[in-house]
Structure 1
Amino acid sequence: MTTIRPRRSALYLPASNARAIEKARTLDCDVVILDLEDAVAPDQKAAARDAAVAAVRGGGFGHRELVVRANAPDTPWGADDLAALAGSGAAAVLLPKVSAPATLVEARAALGDGPPLWAMIETCRAIVDLPAIADAAGATGLAAFVVGTNDLAKEMRCRPGATRAPLLPVLTQVVLAARMAGLIALDGVCNVLDDEAVVEAECRQGLDWGFDGKTLIHPAQIAAANRVFTPSAAEVEWAQAIEAAFARPGNAGRGAIRVEGKMVELLHLEEARRTLAIAHAVARR
């Protein structure tokens, strides 16, 4: 089971940008993803790889999980990326365009006992093969699904628009597969940078769909993601009420009880504990 911790905001930053890496140590995001793939030009790949490893080993990121997105294993840079990251101490290695379990198996062989794997779900083949990919989690150290909505939309030839309606069935499948395997599920990026209301609305949609957080492409998007994916005061109060009710001696061993006029089962207790764990972790920061 994946450790319960806030992953409300996961910010992509190019590993080739030293200033961005330094700035990341001060940002209020939960996850920093140093990118070796899309954000880095071919002639900068090796230097970006060295910079990412140096950043991981240098530390200073505090509570932030430091993840590195490698190039795909079948690219000219993928094998070197995985070799360098195997003993780096990164919180995870994010693999792009995972479309079959074999990609995870190959990456795990290269990483050995190194970092867990996070998988980008951004191809039509990945969506079709999601159950098989999720089933490989235990054997490959897969810990998260990260949706690549832009790549998916391109391959599907759909037009997501403000509502992302064409992608919603796909997002549902990703969340279902993630929950089936006990994985983290992070929503894709919002391409709007200068309208916080739009960013917040897309984050709210992701929350409603069951995602744990959202991937971001600019620091200006962090506040909205953190706000949406942090349990509200009312949610915390309700979770506390459920936990307290089940803790009463008279309710010991009961599978369903009455709390404030509502029927509450053990599944609600489990979700209440998750809500409180996230809220407490956020408060400690």
Structure 2
Amino acid sequence: MTTAPRPRRSVLYMPGSNQRALDKAASLPVDALILDLEDSVAPDAKADARGRVAAAAASGAYGYREVTIRVNAPGTPWHADDLRAAAQAGPDAVVVPKVDSPDTVRRIVAALEAAGAPDRTAVWAMIETPEAMFEARAIAAASARLTVLVMGTNDLAKELRAEHVPGRAPLLTALSLALLAARVTGKVVLDGVYNDVRDLPGFEAETLQARQLGFDGKTLIHPGQLEACNRIFAPDATEVDRSRRVIAAFEEATSQGRGVATVDGRMIENLHVEQAHRVLALSEAIAGR
């Protein structure tokens, strides 16, 4: 039976320098939080934000929500101190920007372990450069601690000199490479952010595209995007009902010595049954929240 991963439909960035935002996050209907020390924090506020984020991550205040810390990128003046503080806070994961190679992953893992990170603290690698796209499979396979690939679509578009357009044609090759890397290595992959928080129809269209492509969830920059993201990435009632009928029909066929069945006029094989089990497991995990 195929088991569902932990739900990561919605993954919301929260500015680490804003205590009010960190407090509010504990009441939001979000699957995972990224407490941010990078882009949302000014250079002169990073040291203060580091302590605030580490305390929040260690507080246990966020309930079922997966709590991660995004550190500053390798090579920046804050990276090493961020990693040490994150390791000691022991979040569910440490999110690392600008991961371009498997060697970068191994160095990050070694630094976290040297700083005392608990076994449960995973690494989420942001892949957001052309080099990272070509190295995506090796990055994903570099360590068992690395469990999630996160698309940095804004930085990637900048590096490609691409425009942000509906349908994201300039980014589809990179999105597909990341998906392939995640699936071949058994890792989770999250789509990048949608920048216009006022454009909910555009956000819904891009989120639906991400689900159709195969992403496990999407990173977000505003709580107003949560409802649509959670809805789109969750199996709906029709999908759940069909999954149950697929499993039942295949079990009946198997009991009669047949390897295929038919549901709604379509042939059902074992691969469809595996997907049906995954849909039901994901639906149950979401309902349990």
TM-score by length of 2: 0.93
Query: Residue 71 of structure 1 corresponds to which residue in structure 2?
Result: 72
Query: Residue 210 of structure 2 corresponds to which residue in structure 1?
Result: 206
Separation (CA, whole Å) in 1 of partners of 2:151 and 2:169: 15
Separation (CA, whole Å) in 2 of partners of 1:252 and 1:152: 53
Does residue 116 (structure 1) correspond to residue 117 (structure 2)? The answer is: no
Separation (CA, whole Å) in 1 of partners of 2:271 and 2:131: 33
Query: Residue 60 of structure 2 corresponds to which residue in structure 1?
Result: 59
**Unpaired stretches in structure 1, ≥5 consecutive residues:** none
Contact 2:4–2:282 (Cα < 8 Å) also in 1: no
Query: Residue 232 of structure 2 corresponds to which residue in structure 1?
Result: 228
Separation (CA, whole Å) in 1 of partners of 2:188 and 2:255: 32
Q: Deviations over 1:31-81 (max 9, x none)?
A: 110001111111111111111110111112111100111112321111111
Please, which moves more after superposition, 41-50 or 119-128?
41-50
Contact 1:122–1:148 (Cα < 8 Å) also in 2: yes
Separation (CA, whole Å) in 1 of partners of 2:253 and 2:166: 50
In structure 2, which of residues 121, 132, 137 is the aligned counterpart of residue 131 of structure 1? 137
Report the 3-state secondary structure (helix = DSSP H, G, I; strand = E; otherwise coil) of the residue aligned with 2:27.
coil
Does residue 4 (structure 1) correspond to residue 5 (structure 2)? The answer is: yes
TM-score by length of 1: 0.94
Q: Structure 1: which 4+ aligned runs deviate by more than 6 Å?
A: none
Separation (CA, whole Å) in 1 of partners of 2:90 and 2:109: 15
Query: Residue 88 of structure 1 corresponds to which residue in structure 2?
Result: 89
Query: Residue 42 of structure 2 corresponds to which residue in structure 1?
Result: 41
Query: Residue 245 of structure 1 corresponds to which residue in structure 2?
Result: 249
How far does residue 170 in structure 1 lie from its aligned partner after superposition?
1.0
Contact 2:253–2:261 (Cα < 8 Å) also in 1: no
Separation (CA, whole Å) in 2 of partners of 1:107 and 1:169: 27
How far does residue 148 in structure 1 lie from its aligned partner after superposition?
0.5
Please, which moves more after superposition, 203-212 or 265-274?
265-274
Contact 1:246–1:252 (Cα < 8 Å) also in 2: no
Does residue 280 (structure 1) correspond to residue 284 (structure 2)? The answer is: yes
RMSD: 1.8
Query: Residue 29 of structure 1 corresponds to which residue in structure 2?
Result: 30
How far does residue 206 in structure 1 lie from its aligned partner after superposition?
0.6
Query: Residue 183 of structure 1 corresponds to which residue in structure 2?
Result: 187
How far does residue 85 in structure 1 lie from its aligned partner after superposition?
1.5
Please, which moves more after superposition, 200-209 or 268-277?
268-277
**Unpaired stretches in structure 2, ≥5 consecutive residues:** none
Please, which moves more after superposition, 80-89 or 61-70?
80-89
Contact 2:73–2:97 (Cα < 8 Å) also in 1: yes
Separation (CA, whole Å) in 1 of partners of 2:246 and 2:255: 11
Does residue 219 (structure 1) correspond to residue 223 (structure 2)? The answer is: yes
Change (3 A) 1:253 1:168: farther
Report the 3-state secondary structure (helix = DSSP H, G, I; strand = E; otherwise coil) of the residue aligned with 2:89.
coil
Report the 3-state secondary structure (helix = DSSP H, G, I; strand = E; otherwise coil) of the residue aligned with 1:93.
strand
Query: Residue 50 of structure 1 corresponds to which residue in structure 2?
Result: 51
Report the 3-state secondary structure (helix = DSSP H, G, I; strand = E; otherwise coil) of the residue aligned with 2:205.
helix
Q: Deviations over 1:220-279 (max 9, x none)?
A: 111111111111111111111122233448438865333343221222122111111111
Q: Deviations over 1:96-148 (max 9, x none)?
A: 0100011110110011153110010101110111122122133xx11011101
